[in-house]
Structure 1
Amino acid sequence: MAKDPLNPPASYEAALEELEQLVQVIESGQLPLEQLLTGYQRGAELLAFCRGRLDAVEQQIKLLDEGSLKPWAPQ
């Protein structure tokens, strides 16, 4: 199921992929309660990791745009 919770993901993409797989396993309803709790905890860790990475990128973009975050419009 989940990887070792003490090891952080290698990247945002790896964390997102693991989180997606974990959600599928949890939603299947086939896990015993203890594994469900462990999976939920790992999911929370992965979500926090992803949010942290996204916040860091947002801060870098603000610096590049001279302190103001400009709205993104698809072309």
Structure 2
Amino acid sequence: MTDLILHLAARMRRWLDRRFPPGANPGGTPPSAPVARPAPRLPAHRSPYGLDGPLDGNAGALVRPYLGDALLHEFAA
């Protein structure tokens, strides 16, 4: 089976070389010089740790709501 594939590939290559010989393409125009563009401005510097000030823990919802019940029981006791 591989002999058949190799034979067909070689035959196709010979046919393509006859049909489209190397250097037969028109070539086209040479590429133009790239247009110089100014670099985009960088964004303002930010801390990699998020906001500069401390976060308010009571401002957001609890991630684990069952802890809210446990904390209420602790404070009630």
TM-score > 0.5, shorter chain as reference: no
Larger Cα-atom Rg: 2
Q: Higher relative CO (CA 8 A, sep ≥ 6), structure 1 or 2?
A: 1
TM-score, normalised on structure 2? 0.30
Structure whose residues are more often helix by fraction = 1
